[in-house]
Structure 1
Amino acid sequence: MNPQPHPCQGLGSGQAAADVRAAARLVAARYPEATGAVLGGSAARGQSTPSSDLDITVLLPDHGMRRREVLRHDDRLAEVFLSSRSGLRTAFTESRTTRRATALFLFADSLVLHDADGHVEALRQEAKALLAAGPDPLTGPEVDAQRALLTDLLDDLTDTSPHSGPHEQLAVADRILREAAHLLTAHHRTWNGAGKWLPRRLKAADPHLGQHLLDGHLALARHADPTPLTTSVMRVLILTGGPLREGHVDR
């Protein structure tokens, strides 16, 4: 087997190289039984700051227990995902089910810290292929259920106003944005996201309509004006079959 290049190679002497060294020390000290490890997240992308935590995936022998640990080592906070090869493949499958692909992105867009037998690199290539393939399409009943939910939420938004309490309006708008993002990304067979990744994945799926959804949500938050958001969500519904009220049956 050809030797792996050192993970610091080509990273220079800045924050990225410091992150790799810190992650490698943590793995060596805490998980001597590991057969492999990668560093993902912002550190792997070269976008971390000194206060960023380290996202590390550790490959365990086949009998290892799948778990997540948050710990501090050498004064660096780290989020560590531990799994065997079979457990990691299960996480890949779960990513496709949730359509958020967290495990896939963490592993595919990573830097190899340790790979004793080549399994880490093989899994990275599997993750890259699964990401490129995209999530499975929603079934017809799943699309209908999402359309019905989004239609109902739009009705709720119409029934709320700043006079009934801005918190109600904002709460409904937040839910609408999440559900519209789910339906739009599914329509394009691209990955969805949560938290800061929701707007990133939404704009990646549909730069034009995704931006309109985000701008509509912002207009409601700033000016209590639901019209831009309502208009954008209706465009999502029309794109996926139209609003659905009468005749929907949950299965």
Structure 2
Amino acid sequence: MQVNQFQRLSSFQAAEKIIDKFFPDCEGAILAGSVVRGQENPTSDLDIVVFDQKLPASYRESFVEFGWPIELFCHNLKSYQAFFKSDCERARPCLPRMISEGVVLKDKGILDGIKKEAETLLHAGPEKWDIATIKLKQYFLTDVLDDFIGSSNRSESIFIAGTLADLAAEFTLRTNKRWIGTSKWISRSLAEYDENFAEAFTQAFDLFYSKNDKSKAIHIVESILEPYGGRLFEGFSLGKNQ
């Protein structure tokens, strides 16, 4: 989304005006996202979470206002809890993270409690994988690793590598009871877990993408699998009657 950055308000001023214009009677509002984390870039938008008891249901809306791309996440005073539950079940705490780290724009006395709910969930981490889930994920990670090792087609290998990195990052984070993410949040989640490991992980795949050298990517995925017995193929079964 291209906007005129020389004619727009500051992020906080724009967010306050959004609330005043569209939600003057809301119970609470929070500005979240890259602008409050100090990670703003030229394409950053404003993520605003709104709590309005008059809303019949939650919704999400995107538009441009006051020179900014705006993403609204609107809830009544109960609907956000279903999103908390869903986010935690998939181990991607988007809404809890936004609420926990966000800056208050407006509050009629409801946000302390909601922020504490979010912080409690984030601190607890996702549900621990059971042995069956680990074996299933181990098998599919092995399968993609074997495809990566065996592929001699550069075009195919590029896409296999993307899948391999996603699965390896997920396996690392979930077996260590850490939150996962997608896109840029894969890198951020790995760094939150272990900055040195995240750097090595990134460098391993960068070596493949830049020089077609698979060695470090293969090594790091094998090191991820090693504590669980290494690659898993022989003896794996899914859905077979005992």
In structure 1, the residue matched to 2:150 is 159
Distance of 1:175 and 1:105 partners within structure 2: 25
CA separation of 1:241 and 1:84: change in aligned 2, threshold 3 A: farther
In structure 2, the residue matched to 1:216 is 204
In structure 1, the residue matched to 2:59 is 67
CA separation of 1:50 and 1:212: change in aligned 2, threshold 3 A: closer
In structure 1, the residue matched to 2:123 is 132
Q: Deviation of residue 127 (structure 1)?
A: 0.7
- Which residue of the other structure, out of 134, 143, 151, is the alignment partner of 1:143? 134
In structure 2, the residue matched to 1:248 is 236
CA separation of 1:148 and 1:45: change in aligned 2, threshold 3 A: same
Aligned residues: 231
- 1:106 counterpart SS class: helix
In structure 1, the residue matched to 2:78 is 86
Q: Deviation of residue 213 (structure 1)?
A: 2.0
Distance of 1:48 and 1:211 partners within structure 2: 22
In structure 1, the residue matched to 2:98 is 106
In structure 2, the residue matched to 1:239 is 227
Q: Deviation of residue 110 (structure 1)?
A: 0.5
- 1:85 counterpart SS class: coil
Q: Deviation of residue 140 (structure 1)?
A: 1.5
Q: CA RMSD in A?
A: 1.7
- 1:190 counterpart SS class: coil
Question: TM-score scaled by structure 1?
Answer: 0.86
In structure 1, the residue matched to 2:110 is 119
Distance of 2:238 and 2:53 partners within structure 1: 43
Q: Deviation of residue 204 (structure 1)?
A: 2.0
Q: Deviation of residue 83 (structure 1)?
A: 1.2
Distance of 1:50 and 1:203 partners within structure 2: 23
Q: Deviation of residue 62 (structure 1)?
A: 6.2
In structure 2, the residue matched to 1:168 is 156
- 1:100 counterpart SS class: coil
In structure 2, the residue matched to 1:4 is none
Name whichever of 204-213 and 231-240 sits farther off: 204-213
Q: Deviation of residue 206 (structure 1)?
A: 2.9
Match status 1:192 vs 2:180: yes
Q: Deviation of residue 18 (structure 1)?
A: 2.2
Q: Deviation of residue 51 (structure 1)?
A: 4.8
Distance of 2:149 and 2:44 partners within structure 1: 41
| Unmatched segments (≥5 aa) in structure 1 | 1-16
Match status 1:228 vs 2:220: no
Q: Deviation of residue 50 (structure 1)?
A: 6.1
Q: Which amino acid aligns with 2:132?
A: P
Residue deviations 1:200-232, cap 9 Å, x none? 211221333333222111111011111110110
Residue deviations 1:147-203, cap 9 Å, x none? 001000011012202xx2x22111001100000010100121111121112112112
Question: TM-score scaled by structure 2?
Answer: 0.89
CA separation of 1:28 and 1:241: change in aligned 2, threshold 3 A: farther
Match status 1:201 vs 2:176: no
Distance of 2:32 and 2:181 partners within structure 1: 17
Distance of 1:145 and 1:76 partners within structure 2: 44
Q: Percent identity?
A: 26
Distance of 1:188 and 1:21 partners within structure 2: 40
Kept after mapping to 2: 8 A contact 1:33/1:61? no
